[in-house]
Structures are given as structure tokens and as C-alpha cells.
Amino acid sequence: MQRAIALVDCNNFYVSCERLFQPALEGKPVVILSNNDGCVVSRSQEVKKLGITMAAPWFKLKELARQHGIIALSSNYTLYADLSNRVMRVLAQFSPEQEIYSIDECFLDVTGINELTRYAQAMRQRVKQHVGIPVCVGIASSKTLAKLANHVAKKRSSGVCNFNALAEDELNHLLSRIEVGEVWGVGRRTHSRLQAMGITTALALKCAPGERIRAEFGITLARTVAELGGTACLSLDEHTTLRAQIICSRSFAIPVTQLADLEEAVISYTSRAAEKLRRQQSMACCVQVAIRTNPNQLKAPQYQPGLTLALAEPSDDTRALCHATLSGLRQIYRTGYAYQKAGIILSGIIACDNRPHSLFDDTEAQQKSATLMSTLDLINRRMGSGTIHLLGEGITKSWAMKRGNVSPRYTTELSDIALAHAAPNK
């Protein structure tokens, strides 16, 4: 039986989330900005038509935005994450095998289902009805082809495209009209190298000699070529495994020069990462800390050090992890630089159940730590993130990022719901 993989992708996800709660934004050009209102991370259809690209720096677009009356909102990840969960729960009803690939898309194994096109229409309708977010569905025999089918679906009013229902020459005709850079796994670098070889369309890549691709580009692109030919090389990953690394990094609202401010930031990021670590019931063996100056500030002196440290024993205790990241920070910090960003990475991640035991384990201290951490997590979940935190995180956080125009957390914060109702409907 032919394998059938569906890729369901939300349309302009962050913009659609905002429109759900501010219907007045419907039909207007809207962009959502990254942290610090730095660049564009989601665009409405009207904005895409103006030629504004993904990740374009906002400050360069302000004049164009004024001319066209573009509405810019700061990103509100709490809201987007909550709506994403709802979309994914609805889609899970359509297949027992679901891979949540990103905040706004998932793969579903729909092998063996009859009338796939009608089935895909049912997905769209149910998500629209239950959550209010518009989605498009692409179906094909491999994940890479399903991504391309979705690309085609986005341009159709039906919002659905099923490659499995097409004859070979019909499919090839569609692929011949898609630029090779649109193929999943072909980034900027590979795109220009392929073009230099005369491979400019998805069809040309599908027909490229596998061995030459393998030799010149490596195994990853060779798999992509096989997938374009309908041979599934990538399986659905149902995320039962632990994350291999947990990253927390942010740019500052203003350049930071003092060690004390960097210390506050690093403690705060380590605390967020430690929460994630405990949420997946795991411990880390290594921490990495990195800071950097602004690489776009070409004239300023540049410095971007990083340091990885092994912990004496695996830990999920915020205090132990902060102790390590702070010690790393103090080793790499130098005066005389204007730092723009700091980040930490937890790695060497193992499940708590697999923690190695040693003769010298202090069981009592370990239990105390576990109790303290789970109490901390419980309070922060109930009372709001950051209710209890280490004092070293700082109170004022002068370095914290700026978000000029953020919407209320309509679905997750009681006080914001009240605010939403009190606000006059302009």
C-alpha cells in the first residue's frame, strides 16, 4: 500500500492568533516582530504581497510600513503556544501517529485512509471550527514531498493538495514549476551551489544523479533526492525521546557592559532552562555559557567567547546549574566590551530514572533538592512564571528585552482576560 503522509501547516500562524482576538486586524497588513521588536517573524498575506521577507530587520522597514499602514505587534509566545496546543490536539484526532514538527505544523500518518482529499478538508474544517485558525494540508508519500504538497496547497483556494492522487507526469509538471530553494532541506548555501550546477527546480533535483549528490553534498541532500522520488527515508518522530539540549538565550534591550548585569541574565536563563529540564524529567551533565558583542556593529570591538563545563554529577537543581554557568561566565567575561546577548545550553541530558549512582551519593540532600525544585515549579505554574526565583536574577532587570506592542495573554492569564474585556473595541 502506498504510504501517505500529511503535513498540516497553520497559515501565517502568529498573525492568525492575533486576528482571532482582534478581528479588526482581518484584511489589514499585519506583521509580528521577534523579541526586542528586532525582525519580522510572521507576515499576513497583504504584507507578503508587498515583498517583505521573513526575518527582515524592522527598523529598515519603518518607512515602507508607514506608507502602507502596516500594523506591527510584538510577539506573544504564551498566547501562540496555547493556541498551538489546541490545534495539535484537534489534529491528533485524525491519526494515531502525529509528529509535532514546530509550533505551527505537524505530520500525520494517514496511510490506508480512503478519499484523502475529503479527509484533509475535514481536518481544515474541524481546526477552523474548534480553534479558529486556518490551516493548509499537503499529502504525499514522503515527508519532503508532503512539505512541497503543502507549498502548493497554500496557493489553492481549497487549501489542500494530494500528490498521491496525481499521475507521474502531472506531479513532475508541478515539481518543474517549484524553485529548488523551496525544497525542505535546501538552504541558502546549497541553493546557490545547486543553481551553479544547473539544478534550478524541484524536478531537476529529483532527477539529479544520486551518487554525485551524495559525493558533493553529503548524505542529507542524497536523502532529500530519494524522498523527492517518493522513497521515504525520514520516519515520523513522535517525540517520545528527550531533547538532547536545552537552550535559553536572549538579546538585551540595551548593550550591557557590567559583569553584574550579565550574571543576572545568566541566572535568569539558567532558571528557565532548568524548568524545562525538570518538565521532561531529566538531568544535565554539561552546561555551556556564551556571551557576545553585537556582530552588526562593525566598528565596535568584537568578542564572542563560550565555555562548556562538565558538572560533578548530573543535576536538575537550579542552584547547582546556576553555580556552574556563573563560574563559566566569570571565566570568559572581559571588561571593555558592549555585550548584546547572553545564552546558556544544557546538554548531556539523561532521564532522571537513568541517573548513575555512586558510593558517595548524599541521598538525603538529593531528596531535599528534588522536593524544593518541585515545590518551586508548582508555585510558578499556579501563580505565574517567575513568581519565585533566585535573588540573583535581579529585580529591575534593566537589561531585559523590550516589547513595544504586545497583546494580552487572552487564554492563559486571568488578569489579561479582564483587560481584554475592559478595553474599548476600536
Partner DNA sequence: TCTGGGGTCCTAGGACCC
Q: Of 401 and 420, which CB lies nearer to DNA in the complex structure?
A: 401
Asked if 220 is part of the footprint of DNA (rule: CB under 7 A), the reply reads yes
CA 99 vs CA 91, 211, 349, 351: distances in Å: 11, 30, 21, 21
Which residues in the 352-391 window bind DNA by CB under 7 A? Answer: none
Q: Which of 18, 46, 99, 104 binds DNA (CB under 7 A)?
A: 104
What mask of x and - would describe binding to DNA in positions 59 to 98, judged by CB under 7 A? x---------------------------------------
Find, among 354, 342, 265, 359, the residue nearest to 316 by Cα: 354
Taking CB under 7 A as the binding criterion, the range among 109-117, 166-174, 185-193, 375-383 that sits at the site for DNA is 185-193
Which residues in the 132-161 window bind DNA by CB under 7 A? Answer: 147
Q: Of 371 and 385, which CB lies nearer to DNA in the complex structure?
A: 385
Q: Which of 100, 116, 248, 289 binds DNA (CB under 7 A)?
A: 248
Asked if 103 is part of the footprint of DNA (rule: CB under 7 A), the reply reads yes
What is the Cα–Cα distance from 287 to 328, expressed in whole angstroms? 9
Q: 87 φ, ψ to 5°?
A: -60, -45
Taking CB under 7 A as the binding criterion, the range among 106-114, 187-195, 316-324, 418-426 that sits at the site for DNA is 187-195
End-to-end CA distance of the chain: 55
What is the Cα–Cα distance from 319 to 243, expressed in whole angstroms? 21
Asked if 186 is part of the footprint of DNA (rule: CB under 7 A), the reply reads yes
What is the Cα–Cα distance from 56 to 34, expressed in whole angstroms? 10
Taking CB under 7 A as the binding criterion, the range among 31-39, 130-138, 197-205, 360-368 that sits at the site for DNA is 31-39
What mask of x and - would describe binding to DNA in positions 321 to 340, judged by CB under 7 A? -------------------x
Q: Of 33 and 120, which CB lies nearer to DNA in the complex structure?
A: 33
What is the Cα–Cα distance from 385 to 288, expressed in whole angstroms? 24
Q: Of 9 and 263, which CB lies nearer to DNA in the complex structure?
A: 9
The cell for 27 is 484584511
Q: Which of 53, 93, 102, 367 binds DNA (CB under 7 A)?
A: 102
Asked if 185 is part of the footprint of DNA (rule: CB under 7 A), the reply reads yes
Q: Which of 86, 250, 355, 402 binds DNA (CB under 7 A)?
A: 250
CA 309 vs CA 92, 319, 329, 344, 354: distances in Å: 40, 15, 11, 11, 21
Do 275 and 323 contact (CB within 8 A), yes or no? no
Do 174 and 206 contact (CB within 8 A), yes or no? no
Q: Of 41 and 145, which CB lies nearer to DNA in the complex structure?
A: 41
Q: 304 φ, ψ to 5°?
A: -140, 70
Which residues in the 34-53 window bind DNA by CB under 7 A? Answer: 34-36, 38-39, 41
Asked if 397 is part of the footprint of DNA (rule: CB under 7 A), the reply reads no
Residue with cell 523551496: 182
Burial of 400 (0-12, 13-18, 19+ CB in 10 A): middle
Do 128 and 116 contact (CB within 8 A), yes or no? no
Q: Which of 11, 195, 249, 369 binds DNA (CB under 7 A)?
A: 249
Which residues sit at the interface with DNA, rule CB under 7 A?
34-36, 38-39, 41, 54-55, 57, 59, 101-105, 147, 183-191, 218-220, 243-251, 272, 276, 294, 296-297, 308, 310, 340-341, 343, 401
